[in-house]
């Protein structure tokens, strides 16, 4: 092959790889990146951000630190960042902003189950979400927790066909447990579904968008689960202790559960009970409307994935509504299931032309609403 033919072949390979769908995802990621990263350090750090970043900065300076009440994973990443880069306000918020960008790509891995158009719309809703955008530009671990929980669910579904994904599900779950207290809301929803699914969803159902008739790829469940747990525990320990250097990070990770439970205590100054639903109506009207409609359609059709997402989204909205110590960042955990729930609006059993027509209609609604 001549030197002239090599660039031509490279351009041909790029043209073959860059399909219209991938170009659309590139546009979504570009938009989300600009919205989340632009002037990231414009506003001063809040009190919670200062506490989180100051602990990482003290650790870099060799000072003793206390990790109680902090996100262990964010502390580890910020400490590593401050070693190589200047500790600016933008660098304090870099990792949550990156997580807010990565969450827009996860629906791409769900195309086989959600449908290509539906997965792209879910990615678009996640990119446009004001709730995710705000907390992606805030130095806390809440968006990171939501991102890793959606990644864990996606990897768990992929493990039904390829058991190697089970290890990635364990890694994502371990990282979620180190990120923020909101992870326990999603875990509670998953536990309720798998423990009481016969009571919550009586009658026959579809296991998972076209996978009900396929044989599971996990031929040796005990061996696969053992490897999943071992890798997950290893990632959890390394992430919590910043590479075995801050062992009190294990206690800080356990403290996230305590923070989540402490929402039932009544603070001196708190938000009213109607506040979570009001924020959803004002900030996420399209996401809320399409998410509810998708949940109703999916549950009526018996799709088990739709049932998991419906329970996840419902509990993520009910938890801050019912708990007296409700906080704004708790609604972040409701965004991934609401966005993914839209897939049930265009069931896989319908004709391709009907799904494309419906997808284009939803896209026009989103575009006109944003403009």
Inside any domain, residue 69:
yes
Q: What total of structural domains would you count in the chain?
A: 1
Task: Please write down the HEC assignment for all residues of 260-324.
Answer: HHHHHCCCCCCCCCCHHHHHHHHHCHHHHHHHHHHHHHHHHHCEHHHHHHHHHHHHHHHHHHHCC
Mean pLDDT for the chain overall = 84
Task: Give the number of other CB atoms < 10 A from CB of residue 46.
Answer: 12
Inside any domain, residue 158:
yes
Inside any domain, residue 308:
yes
pLDDT (average), residues 172-186: 96
**Residue 239 class from Cβ within 10 Å (0-12 exposed, 13-18 middle, 19+ buried)?**
buried
H helix or E strand, kind and range, residue 22: helix 20-37
Instruction: Enter the tokens of residue 329.
Output: 């960042």
**Residue 135 class from Cβ within 10 Å (0-12 exposed, 13-18 middle, 19+ buried)?**
buried
Instruction: Enter the tokens of residue 172.
Output: 């994502």
Task: Give the number of other CB atoms < 10 A from CB of residue 147.
Answer: 29
Look up the pTM and report it: 0.86
pLDDT band at 270 (very low <50, low <70, confident <90, very high): confident
pLDDT of residue 225: 61
Most trustworthy range by pLDDT among 5-14, 141-150, 152-161: 141-150
Task: Examine the pLDDT at 162 and tell me if it is beyond 90.
Answer: no
Residue 142: which domain range? Answer: 18-370
pLDDT of residue 205: 45
Distances (CA, A) of 149 to 64, 74, 146: 31, 16, 5
Distances (CA, A) of 31 to 25, 280, 359: 10, 22, 20
Instruction: Enter the tokens of residue 123.
Output: 């990615």
Inside any domain, residue 5:
no
Q: What are 90-142's pLDDT values in tens digits?
A: 999 999 999 999 999 999 998 888 888 889 999 999 999 999 999 999 999 99
pLDDT of residue 206: 41
pLDDT of residue 305: 85
* Spatial contact of 343 and 153, defined as CB atoms under 8 Å apart: no
Inside any domain, residue 9:
no
pLDDT band at 160 (very low <50, low <70, confident <90, very high): confident
Inside any domain, residue 272:
yes
Q: What are 350-360's pLDDT values in tens digits?
A: 444 444 444 44
pLDDT of residue 16: 64
Task: Examine the pLDDT at 47 and tell me if it is beyond 70.
Answer: yes
pLDDT of residue 341: 86
Q: What are 316-364's pLDDT values in tens digits?
A: 999 999 999 999 999 999 999 999 987 656 544 444 444 444 444 444 4
* Spatial contact of 336 and 110, defined as CB atoms under 8 Å apart: no
pLDDT band at 199 (very low <50, low <70, confident <90, very high): low
Inside any domain, residue 2:
no
Inside any domain, residue 131:
yes
Higher pLDDT, 102 or 224: 102
């Amino acid at each position: 092959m001549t030197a002239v033919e090599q660039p031509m072949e490279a351009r041909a390979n790029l043209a073959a790889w860059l399909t219209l769908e991938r170009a659309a995802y590139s546009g979504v990621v570009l938009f989300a990146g600009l919205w989340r990263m632009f002037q990231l350090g414009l506003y001063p750090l809040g009190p919670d951000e200062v506490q989180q970043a100051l602990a990482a900065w003290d650790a870099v300076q060799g000072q003793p630190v206390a990790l109680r009440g902090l996100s262990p994973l964010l502390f580890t990443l910020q400490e590593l960042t401050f070693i190589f880069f200047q500790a600016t306000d933008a660098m304090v918020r870099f990792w949550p902003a990156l997580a807010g960008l990565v969450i827009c790509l996860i629906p791409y891995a769900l195309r086989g189950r959600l449908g290509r158009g539906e997965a792209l719309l879910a990615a678009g809703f996640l990119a446009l979400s004001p709730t995710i955008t705000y907390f992606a530009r805030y130095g806390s671990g809440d968006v990171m927790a939501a991102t890793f929980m959606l990644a864990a669910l996606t990897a768990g579904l992929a493990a039904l066909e390829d058991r190697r994904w089970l290890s990635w599900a364990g890694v994502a779950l371990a990282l979620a447990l180190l990120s923020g207290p909101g992870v326990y809301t999603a875990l509670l929803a998953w536990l309720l579904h798998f423990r009481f699914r016969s009571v919550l969803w009586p009658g026959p159902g579809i296991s998972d968008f076209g996978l009900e008739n396929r044989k599971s790829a996990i031929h040796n469940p005990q061996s696969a689960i053992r490897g999943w747990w071992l890798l997950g525990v290893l990632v959890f320990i390394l992430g919590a202790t910043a590479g075995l250097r801050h062992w009190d990070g294990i206690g800080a990770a356990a403290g996230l559960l305590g923070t989540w439970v402490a929402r039932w205590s009544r603070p001196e100054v708190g938000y009213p009970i109607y506040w979570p639903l009001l924020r959803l109506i004002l900030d996420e009207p399209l996401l809320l409307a399409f998410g509810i409609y998708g949940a109703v359609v999916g549950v009526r059709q018996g799709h088990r994935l739709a049932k998991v997402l419906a329970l996840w989204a419902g509990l993520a909205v009910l938890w801050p509504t019912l708990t007296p110590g409700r906080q704004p960042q708790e609604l972040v955990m409701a965004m991934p299931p609401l966005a993914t729930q839209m897939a049930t609006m265009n069931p896989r059993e319908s004709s391709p032309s009907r799904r494309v027509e419906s997808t284009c209609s939803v896209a026009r609604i989103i575009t006109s609403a944003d403009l």
